[in-house]
Amino acid sequence: MNQPKNINQSGIAYIVGAGPGDRKLITLRGLECLQMADVVIYDLLLNERLLEYCPKHTEIIKAPDPRTKPNRQSELNQLLIDHTRAGKKVVRLKGGDPFIFGRGGEEAMALVKEGLPFEIIPGVTSGIAASAYAGIPVTHRDYASSVAFVTGHSAALNSESKINWVGLATAVDTLVVYMGVGHLRQIVDCLIENGRDSRTPISLVRVGTTPHQVVIQGTLSNIVEKTQEVGLKSPAIIVVGEVNCLREYLQWFDNKPLFRKQIIVTRARSQNSEFADILEEYGADVIQFPTIEIHPLEIDSNQLPTPQQYHWVIFTSVNAVEIYYDRLRDCGLDSRVFSDCHICAVGSKTVESLNRIGINPDFIPTQSSGKGIASEIKDIRDKRVLLPRAKISTQELPAILKERGAIVDDLPLYDTVKVLGNDSQSITESLLDGSIDMVTFTSSSTVRNFIEVLPKDKFPELLDNTKIAVIGPTTAETAIESGLEVDVIADQATIRSLADAIIDEYTDTKE
């Protein structure tokens, strides 16, 4: 039936399942659709970090709130139709799977009626994903050979509902109920009245697959009281059946060392990815709040010093490598210009960045401080040294190199510009209510800029109950001078080392 009336039109709608919450559970095809989208219409409660995969030109539209828009679905259908008809690649990004209680079928039918082309991109539904992250397999050879997915919405519970609760109560081993938290008592009573044993295990998994996941377990006879005690609210899925007993052995997600820890990352957004990924891998809820941006400086190509003029080029960061190499290419040069000089690279990521352009550094110091770098380089007297780096870098490294007899040219390549995020108010509120567990700093500028965001009358008390983690001694010194108490200092000035130190901090706390 999906035959467009005008086969020459270029517009198409992709109805994409985004998964249940963990952004990494989106499918490869779903990610491809986001990367080529002209328009994205996304649901509430989705992980908005998925939108970072969209091109810069993409128009981002948040779907109307169903609580305030009674005609929400017709509005959504019309948005899909209008943008697709206009010849755009439209992604309708939906939580979970679009065809499992996602109304994706209704949206697809609206496109069919208009003769517009579409594709359905399946997603991982919360019924299996949240269960899996809670350590509850919905089927298991020893416990359950059948499973049913059912809506727990109020309409499904009235006498006119098409759901056969009489048969369903005992017909399947595992019953997974969506949208049923607000009607939990009715669901439990319905199952017991229709033959399900009141001792049957039951679990509720709230915001499954996210660092805020909560799992409540009980039996049909006591689960209502247990959920009321903790005030559990939607969104959550309900799992009924003997498979719930396996969580005792199979729970894994909420055993991660950083599970439920809210950690602020203040690094530049362009550099956040690796750090955030590591922390998330260990269960953290990462709040990206960049306080700096990297801005390359304009340099006249005729005035750019090239490696042939030097005995040594010292790279202290990935930014220095990438920006300097970009400037060389602007001059029509490539990595061959480094053939007659020695290369020093500070840190494993700087080494990797050089490797990507075909350069293996001659020397990698064991220390990242200016003093350590300058003292470890051999045969430096009367040698010309180029130091491409940030405009605001400290003078320790060039000063010690000069003391050792080197001829140093300090080349400012980029500036770290202050960024004050639009959500500074929410960060302050989160610090006030104690929900932030840790703030991380990867440079002195991130410390200073973050502090400027905070209300002066509440600093430094605002951070009294929040741990502070820093990448090295220089950053630690800045933090201490600013009135902060530093809890974690990385062994080496690398993102991996900082992440390891944070993990160790919370692992030691748990033990």
Strand-pair partners of 343: 313
Active site residue 65: no
Beta-strand relationship, 12-17 and 118-121: parallel
Question: Which amino acid would we find at residue 110?
Answer: A
Active site residue 43: yes
The continuous run of DSSP H or E covering 249 comes out as helix 247-250
CA–CA dist 219, 232 (Å, integer)? 16
- The number of angstroms, rounded, from the C-alpha of 80 to the middle of its chain's C-alpha atoms is 27
The continuous run of DSSP H or E covering 35 comes out as helix 28-35
Hey, what are 343's tokens?
């290369």
Active site residue 340: no
3-state helix, strand, coil in the chain (%, to 5): 40, 20, 40
Cβ atoms of 341 and 311 closer than 8 Å: yes
Cβ atoms of 135 and 251 closer than 8 Å: yes
Which residue in the list 62, 69, 371, 458 is annotated as catalytic? 62
Locus of tokens 């948040």: 62
- List the one residue out of 145, 276, 304, 286 whose CA is nearest residue 211: 286
Residues in the chain: 511
Hey, what are 225's tokens?
């009281």
DSSP 83-111: HHHTT-EEEEEESB-TTSSS-HHHHHHHH
Q: In sequence order, which ranges of 408-494 are alpha helices (DSSP H)? A: 424-432, 444-453, 473-481
Residues 6+ apart with CB under 8 A from 97: 17, 104, 122, 123, 124, 125
Residues 6+ apart with CB under 8 A from 457: none
CA–CA dist 398, 380 (Å, integer)? 12
CA–CA dist 66, 235 (Å, integer)? 14
Residues 6+ apart with CB under 8 A from 365: 344, 346, 372, 373, 376, 377
CA distances from 98 to 12, 93, 101, 161, 205 (A): 17, 9, 7, 22, 20
Strand-pair partners of 411: 388
Which residue in the list 22, 179, 383, 467 is annotated as catalytic? 179
Which residues are annotated as catalytic? 43, 62, 179
